[in-house]
Amino acid sequence: MTHSVVIPTHNRADHLRETLRSLRHVSTEFDWELIVVDNNSTDHTRRVVDEMVPTFPVPLRYVFEPEPGRSAALNSGFRAARGDIIFTTDDDVQVEPNWLDVGTAALQRFDCAFVGGRVLPIWGGERPGWFPKQYGRMWIPIALLDFGPEPMEFVSRAPLGVNMALRREALVRAGELDNSIGRKPGTLLGQEVREWCMRVRAAGMRGFYVPELVLHHKVPVERLSKHYFRRSFYWRGVSRAILYRRNGVDMEDPELSPLRFSRVPHIAGVPRYMYGKVLGSGLGLLKGLTRGDGDAVLEKEMQLWFYAGIFAETWKGKFQASKHHPPDTPPPVQPGEAGLIH
């Protein structure tokens, strides 16, 4: 077995069925397997998998993971996987027939540890008029990605876990995903892939964006609301505050941390310059309202929700950033500190 595909799922059996039907049409000469990790579902997920096993063109395996969290499910799938190359995706996607071949070729072409590709929408409802057609930060809450037509190394950006291929060696050297900052029921946490990519780079490996690696992701109608986007940006701020506390990285650009945070003044545990950022976004929102610029108003509003998450997580007292400032530089991450695959 050379390739494994891992799908975490939780209570979305009917979506999963459609995804499995899409994966049946993958065409490749590689030996591969499909692993569905049931993250403590209470619906008919197990039955859907069992029904597909007899006619699925490659080994289809069911794994149960009781610990809540997408990262916990993926880690369980990683341990069960027999392939040297592992693809990760979700239970609500449609893949291209050449998906495995494109991802594998990219890993070989760039001689890298992981690759990520474009994630394009399958709209579950009418696309909102306020949603931008061009890629930007507003695409992030609904897990869409398109960095353009040219490949590039992931340095200041990160892939989406819904469309990734990685080498097992990267998991051995950098460790598993950290479930404490990954998506769980009741939250919209979601910095576990970015944090893992940072550990990969710390271990001396690289990852690349590959535009040819295309996947189509369903966007349910309930996520096509400003309310959902506000929640998403808020939780993004919470996640970044956690990364700041743990790794001493910039909350807006974690991979690019030019500041020595132990020398940055703090107010109530938050770097003082962040208050200026909030003020600037607030003034930008007011200017947008004055000009009737709906796009500017929406962007600044979402920035404010992002900052609200940062401040709320800091002030909540979960950590004492005001007493224990991060070090001058982020501490070195030891390979496997978030879980090691042997």
155-184 per-position pLDDT tens digit: 989 999 999 999 999 999 999 999 988 888
Q: What is the pLDDT of residue 143?
A: 95
**In the predicted structure, residue 339 carries a pLDDT above the cut 70:** no
- Read off the tokens for 198: 């940072």
Specify the range with the lowest mean pLDDT, choosing from 17-21, 100-104, 304-308, 323-327: 323-327
Q: In the chain, count H helices and then E strands.
A: 9, 11
Asked if residue 337 has pLDDT above 70, the reply is no
| pLDDT at site 259 | 65
Cross-strand pairs, 271: 266
Average pLDDT, the chain: 90
Percent of the chain with pLDDT over 90: 77
Work out the average pLDDT over 216-234: 96
Mean pLDDT of all residues in 234-261: 84
Instruction: Kindly tell me if the per-residue pLDDT of 7 is higher than 90.
Output: yes
Q: What is the pLDDT of residues 52-98, one digit of tens each?
A: 999 999 999 999 999 999 999 999 999 999 999 999 999 999 999 99
Q: Kindly indicate the confidence band of residue 319, based on its pLDDT and cuts at 50, 70 and 90.
A: very low
When mean pLDDT is compared across 35-49, 222-236, 313-327, the lowest value belongs to: 313-327
What one-letter code names the amino acid at 280? Answer: G
Pick the CATH number of 3-225 from 3.90.550.10, 3.40.50.300, 3.40.50.450, 3.20.20.70: 3.90.550.10
Is the Cβ–Cβ distance between 10 and 40 less than 8 Å? yes
Domain boundaries, the chain: 3-225, 229-315
What's the pLDDT band for 328 if we cut at 50, 70, 90? very low
CA dist 61 → 38, 86, 257 (Å) = 11, 14, 42
Q: pLDDT at position 54, please?
A: 97
Range scoring the smallest mean pLDDT among 14-18, 263-267, 308-312:
263-267
Residue 327 has pLDDT above 80, yes or no: no
Banded model confidence at residue 254, pLDDT cuts 50, 70, 90: confident
Q: What is the pLDDT of residue 258?
A: 62
pLDDT tens digits for range 101-127: 999 999 999 999 999 999 999 999 999
Reference 209, options 284, 286, 148; nearest CA is 148
